[in-house]
């Protein structure tokens, strides 16, 4: 599968109208770029407390299911990525007070992409149980999304159609 294409003009591109341009990529790639889904999902994304994470993960998972019912793989995949990002960000704050995992700034040519980009990881702090619970709630919904048979079918179909 081709990697996520960071060269596209996502600010002007509607991937609901052009699903052929969407590439799943790895992990959370593109989660804060792909429109109109970013605009639809981001307002629901919260992980500061377990209650916020519960409401957020349930709302985003409901949107995931709605995208599936509409046959919208790109929307479903973006919702899955928001669930994954809820888990990873809450885990980061659980492990690193203040949420900073890596030392130094992100290189300009790597902004918007995931990964350390050669920067050393900062030492972990004692686990924050509140953020750890928020992460657990997102992980449960992310796992549900990943295990969804309709999602798996649409993903396989998307990859076959748009290689």
The answer to whether the CB of 102 falls within 8 A of the CB of 110 is no
- Per residue in 37-85, pLDDT tens? 999 999 999 999 999 999 999 999 999 999 999 999 999 999 999 999 9
Give this prediction's pTM: 0.86
- Which DSSP letter does residue 48 get? S
- Per residue in 72-125, pLDDT tens? 999 999 999 999 999 999 998 888 876 666 667 767 666 655 566 677 777 677
- Per residue in 131-162, pLDDT tens? 999 999 999 999 999 999 999 999 999 999 99
**Partners of residue 108 on adjacent β-strands:** none
CA distances from 46 to 11, 29, 81, 119 (A): 23, 19, 14, 27
Domain boundaries, the chain: 36-102+126-161
């Amino acid at each position: 599968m081709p990697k996520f294409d960071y060269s596209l003009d996502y600010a002007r591109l509607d991937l609901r109208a052009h699903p052929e341009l969407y590439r799943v990529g790895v992990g959370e790639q593109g989660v804060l770029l792909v429109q109109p889904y970013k605009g639809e999902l981001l307002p629901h994304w919260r992980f500061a407390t377990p209650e916020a994470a519960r409401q957020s993960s349930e709302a985003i998972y409901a949107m995931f299911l709605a995208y599936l019912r509409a046959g919208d793989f790109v929307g479903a995949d973006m919702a899955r990525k928001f669930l994954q990002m809820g888990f990873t960000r809450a885990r980061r704050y659980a492990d690193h007070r203040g949420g900073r995992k890596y030392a130094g700034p992100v290189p300009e040519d790597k902004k918007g992409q995931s990964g350390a980009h050669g920067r050393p990881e900062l030492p972990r702090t004692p686990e924050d149980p509140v953020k750890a619970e928020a992460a657990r709630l997102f992980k449960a919904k992310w796992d549900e999304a990943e295990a969804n048979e309709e999602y798996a079918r649409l993903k396989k179909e998307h990859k076959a159609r748009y290689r």
